[in-house]
Amino acid sequence: MALASKQISRAASMVGRRLVGRPTLVAGRASRSARITTICKVHKVCVLPGDGIGPEIMDVATKALTVAGSKEGEEFEYKYCLIGGAAIDATGKPLPDETLATAKESDAVLLAAIGGYKWDALPSAQRPERGLLAIRAGLNAFANLRPAIVPRQLADSSPLKRELVEGVDILIVRELVGGIYFGQPRGFGTNEKGERIGFNTDVYSEPEVERIARVAFEAARKRGKRLCSVEKSNVLEVSQLWKEVVIRVGKDYPDVELSHMYIDNAAMQLLRNPKYFDVIVTGNIFGDILSDEASMLAGSLGLLPSASISGGGPGIYEPVHGSAPDIAGKDIANPLAMVLSAAMMCRYDLSIPKVADRLEAAVNAVLDAGLRTGDIYKEAPGTRLVKCSEMGAELMKHL
């Protein structure tokens, strides 16, 4: 089954763009009359602050987004909804019907983080993470694009040597609504010995593999023309199907160099030789693992955004990191990945790239100025440890 052209074009547009490290944006000063006569378009954004540090970083992001938009004659209508633990506390459900309905009616969804220790003891079907899976499925956000870029300002902050990570620019394309996280049957039971068991099903259909493969090939075509498909076909039938379909789709992209790698080797090579990779395509669970591992090349999860796009409806834009309940409310979280997620939303779902440029330039400027939250702070000349709210205030100055 061929992937709809709109799906391909939206996904392909999200490649080859560095999210940090752009040249500083220099904007001309608009005249008073020009500002007055600017016609603003209102973009409807479903805002999901979620749990833990979510509300703190979302506050920074929406303020920055509003200011950046105003400079370009763009307005945003924010509709705040519940998801995850906050939704469970208020409604008993990790994804209320009202939240999903609002998301479907919006131009895009901006999501912070969900989950926390408070809800760990709940049955699996009622935990906050089920809300995240449900909204992805409800919006058919099947393609998750996670850039792993090491900002030049932070190459020395990586746990790996500078020569290994400097210049790393990887795009991980993760299938998001299939695989073991959604496969049926799943649950708990008893085996023939009377022992309690838990089980999940890792399953992919050919059309599911084909559509994510095409997104990845289109991405590679716009970048370095290299695609690595990651699976475990030496032991898993589902991975054997995955590999067969990816090879077949690859025949339509003779200009893209296709390679294959088992997940265990890929995890090792990502740390041993990260510059080998350009675009990685993989299934849900492997993509979850590799994208978190890749984020540490930059030294922190707090710097990397992600986009989950659908076949035509609103996408979901969120930082790679979690809700970090241990530091929630302490004003020490890093809001930059949340701001960069808002920039991705502007660039790809809302089609207002100039607003994205302003947000990305502001992030670049605060890093150039040596400002660091605790997760990326390394004592060195010219660096200064700041709080989440302070980082937000500095971003506003540069906007």
Catalytic center residues: 181, 232, 264, 288, 292
Exposure string over 18-39, b if 16+ CB within 10 A, otherwise e: ebbbeeebeeeeeeeeeeeeee
381 Cα distance to chain centroid: 32
Interacting residues of 236 by C-beta distance below 8 A, sequence separation 6+: 202
Cα–Cα distance, 373 to 376 (Å, whole number):
6
Interacting residues of 194 by C-beta distance below 8 A, sequence separation 6+: none
Cα–Cα distance, 74 to 305 (Å, whole number):
22
200 phi, psi to nearest 5 deg: -135, 160
Q: Helix-strand-coil percent breakdown of the chain, rounded to 5?
A: 45, 20, 35
Beta strands 305-309 and 316-319 are: antiparallel
How many CB atoms lie under 10 A from the CB of residue 348?
A: 21
Name the residue among 205, 209, 210, 201 with its Cα closest to residue 182.
Answer: 201
Residue 22 CB-half CA count within 13 A: 19
Beta strands 74-80 and 41-50 are: parallel
Number of helices (H), then strands (E), belonging to the chain: the values are 14, 14
Interacting residues of 167 by C-beta distance below 8 A, sequence separation 6+: 150, 275
